[in-house]
Structure 1
Amino acid sequence: MDHKGAAGQAEPLVLGIETSCDECAVAVVAGRPGAARILADVVWSQIDLHEAYGGVVPEIAARAHGETIDKVAAEALDQAGVDLGALDAVAATAGPGLLGGLLVGATFGKAVARAAGLPFVAVNHLEAHVLTPRLTDGVAFPYCVALLSGGHAQFVAVIGPGDYRRLGGTIDDAAGEAFDKTAKLLGLAYPGGPAVERAARSGDPKRFDFPTPLARREGCDLSFAGLKTAVRLAAERAAPLTETDVADICASFQDAVARLLTLKAARALEAFAAEAGTAPTALVVAGGVAANGVLRAALAGVAERAGTAFVAPPLRLCTDNGAMIAYAAIERRAAGSADGIETRVRSRWPLDGAAAPLIGAGKRGAKA
């Protein structure tokens, strides 16, 4: 099957594999930087496997990836209507993430690439998230990203492929982690983010006066550990909790996160011009937490007040997926800077390698 663009020219065709956490995802993407199409996007979720534990169990996740990756890849190729011979490259997440899952996806991708005689591209999971708005909306460089997920919370100036500058980030917990732990504390379902958002819809966001950590500190850095503690203390004081109590706590917690992100995102837009030498083309929200409607609305308001475009990818492309991995490979190959088959997986792989660690570093390197 011949895949051609609007000008009738053959388009690069990439198979993308994502296994950094609890989603086993494979996609096929065709196109060029800023103008690509998703031909297939298959995601096999492990929610049922981890629900009883209230969080992702790395060993279970890795085993499940190993049992399903070949089936998911076959389904993606089938949906796209292509075989391995039609591909131009194979890409897989090489970090950051859970080592077991990363090993499964990267090893499978390398094996497929070798068997088919194709180039292999090792993709940074965070880079894939921040490049997603170029896949979905064709956003032009440079732009500002609020990258919010279960493991990450940072503001990034996206100057171009491979050129990312951290404007600020969390000094402790990530936004998604705070949502998940709040849900677990309140006895809500897993995954915690959507459960907290659902409960908050019927709650009073003003009942509990939760703090916005680091609000008075200059800059764009974030903190969520103190907010988690405030939620725990409020829940203990209100025990035994009624459904109304839970809803009000969730609404107040979500409101505090939105207020903090509103303040810090406005500062990030101010810092962007100093870092990039120009105004951003857009404020983008990316990562799993970007699926939260309240937080999206808060960040959209920041962009509107700043006179900047606001972009939020479709919900299915905010959470982990193979399409973003394939597209990141398209960008990196076009820029001539692809990490190849010798690249090892790594649990830590910061986007901005020149930035000082916010939390710390060890044998595995700086935290992202």
Structure 2
Amino acid sequence: MRRPGHLVLADGSVLAGELVGFEPPEGVATGELVFNTVLSGYQEVLSDPSYAGQVVCFTYPHIGNYGVTPEDDEARRPFCRGVVVRDLTATPSSWRAGEPLEAYLRRHQVPGIAGVDTRRLTRLVRREGAMGCAFGWRDVEELAAAARAEPGTTGRDLVREVTTAAPYELGAGPWRVVALDFGVKRTMLRLLAERARVTVVPASTKAEEVLALEPDGVLLSNGPGDPAALDAQAACVAGLLGRVPVFGICLGHQLLCRAVGAETYKLPFGHHGGNHPVRRLDTGQVEVTAQNHNYAVDRASLPKEAEVTHVNLNDGVVEGIALPRAQAFSVQYHPEAGPGPHDARYLFGRFWRLVEERSH
């Protein structure tokens, strides 16, 4: 029998449900509430370090159907603050399942609430924007106070919570790639390791330290939080430009843009899902993309040398830029697509071409 509980938002909205996963001893969990629209891939979403500081609401009503498996983890553990679902499957059905999702949540101490009207909740967040929330078995007044006190992600450096503590290596191949770990997903590293020796370094690594490794290319990874709070990381990126090919993804895209003087801003409720249409401007082709970000680049603030290469067809957000003279480019979405469509995997090929040109 699951314990009843409530989810309360900072605006005072109250939704009833039942507590699942890990129950915090103090009886309350908090975070910035966002929603994700994927139909499958819930484990990859929950284990994406970009969700640090956030509570994830799944719009798809049935979550946990096929259980979880270690092969699908995108990080060493989930960094999200919690999960909200309509219906959490108790008994998964898949030959790959190692354990049910709820057991996974308990093992990684991720609190959750099920039985929530996620349709109503999603419509509310779309209308009012991402906001602080609290859920648990405490009374509604206590939960409301906790929700109002939740600071959210604005102005916060959450990268320090998710980055690696020490460098490590993987892969083999003719080239050396340095991956700056702002919260890197394992699928990105697997794709790089197929063709290169990859050295993953902490987010605090300076440009001179990266260059001392004599890389043929540098990956700027995804990650959580506000890019405006990462001045040291933007300075590192600035120190790499023109000296080595650079490929930025998600937060890496935002930091590349900030490194050349652009500004970033917070979206009302972010882009989180596996079906966002993006137009590739040089061909006119539309890519269906996986996305997970709350911040975006201000197009008007981009310098002249930055070419906008991709735009979001839903709201016009800048989804990609190129700096041809610096042999650098970046995209706001996730070409590794874990989970999601593989329309944008060609971008890794573009990176390898830059690496090959430099090595010759």
Identify the TM-score tier after normalising by the shorter chain. Answer: under 0.3
TM-score by length of 1: 0.24
Query: RCO higher in 1 or 2 (8 Å CA, sep ≥ 6)?
Result: 1
TM-score by length of 2: 0.25
Q: Which has the higher helix share?
A: 1
Q: Which has the higher strand share?
A: 2
